[in-house]
């Protein structure tokens, strides 16, 4: 396609007979992706913390949907969701997330952003992996490039020096390292399932409204109004990663300046997000923290 004919949701293939789980599908990019997937014929499962809100959102979608409760900040809820899954799953979209919150803890005592954005999805993916037939798409962020983005293995909960920005950056870096190591394991096991990541650029959603700093909230409201692209455009990288023939561990984002906006394309990631040794270490630590072990038979380095 040319620059004037960029890929969009109308270019989705026929998804009839396919099933997709979208975490956090009740609003923002998740809801927009759910609309597009259902519109292309997929059966879309809204995996949401609040089923009532999920049902209200699903009612706006034209197509086949269902709503199931999933609280990524509670590993018992993650296990319950996975235990109730008993059929093939073509597509898992790890979309839900929290951003730049005041210091909070998950039900299991983890820092909220790392626990929700990474550990919750880590556990969910591994528990569902025996059912997944096509691919896993995890929504990351350009925040993985922020100067304070690192995996603090000696203090993952950031007890010593918590900042909302640093915790968010760590969780988004973890999303990309998770995708990298998941793909390595899938490849080594001979699986045809692919793991990819996507980021929406700067998109106007309600995610930014929960930032800890009032100044950040004001700045983000300004940015959402005057700089951001729509949530519809922000969902395109996720949909592209979910349906196009792309390499495993590929990372999709907008093709415009700074990856803020534009049509979906493969983009690069930071050096920290490309380090296989860090990815493997994070995987091992994540298994220990969640008690969820990868079901794939692979050589563990």
DSSP three-state, residue 153: coil
251 noted as active-site residue = no
Listing DSSP states for 170-236 in one string gives HHHHHHHHHHHHHHHHHHHHT---EEEEE---SB--SGGGG-S-HHHHHHHHHHHHHTPBPHHHHTH
CA atoms of 25 and 173, how far apart (whole Å): 22
Catalytic residue among 162, 168, 202, 251: 168
Token pair belonging to 41: 């014929």
Q: How many CB atoms lie within 10 A of CB 219?
A: 13
DSSP letters along 223-278, please? Answer: HHHHTPBPHHHHTHHHHHHHHS---TT-EEEE-SGGGSSSSEEE----SGGG-HHH
User: Catalytic residue positions?
Assistant: 168
């Amino acid at each position: 396609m040319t620059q004037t004919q960029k890929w969009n949701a109308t270019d989705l293939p026929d998804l009839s007979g396919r099933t997709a789980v979208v975490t956090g599908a009740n609003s923002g990019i998740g809801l927009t992706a759910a609309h597009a997937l259902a519109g292309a014929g997929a059966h879309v499962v809204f995996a949401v913390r609040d089923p009532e809100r999920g049902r209200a959102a699903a009612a706006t979608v034209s197509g086949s949907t269902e709503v199931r409760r999933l609280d990524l900040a509670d590993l018992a809820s993650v296990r319950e969701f996975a235990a109730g899954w008993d059929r093939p799953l073509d597509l898992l979209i790890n979309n839900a997330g929290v951003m730049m919150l005041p210091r909070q803890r998950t039900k299991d005592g983890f820092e909220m952003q790392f626990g929700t954005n990474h550990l919750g999805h880590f556990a969910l993916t591994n528990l569902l992996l025996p059912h997944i037939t096509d691919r896993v798409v995890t929504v990351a962020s350009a925040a993985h490039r922020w100067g304070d983005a690192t995996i603090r293995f000696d203090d993952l909960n950031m007890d010593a020096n918590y900042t909302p920005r640093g915790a968010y950056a760590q969780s988004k870096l973890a999303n990309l390292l998770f995708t990298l190591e998941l793909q390595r394991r899938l490849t080594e096991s001979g699986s045809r399932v692919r793991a990819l990541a996507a980021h929406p650029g700067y998109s106007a959603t309600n995610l930014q409204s929960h930032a800890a700093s009032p100044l950040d909230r004001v700045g983000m409201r300004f940015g959402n109004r005057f700089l951001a692209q729509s949530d519809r455009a922000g969902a395109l990288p996720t949909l592209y990663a979910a349906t196009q023939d792309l390499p495993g561990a590929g990372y999709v984002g907008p093709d415009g300046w700074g990856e803020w906006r534009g049509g979906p394309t493969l983009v690069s990631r930071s050096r920290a997000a490309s380090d296989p040794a860090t990815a493997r270490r994070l995987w091992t630590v994540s298994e220990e923290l969640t008690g969820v072990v990868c079901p794939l038979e692979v050589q563990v380095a």
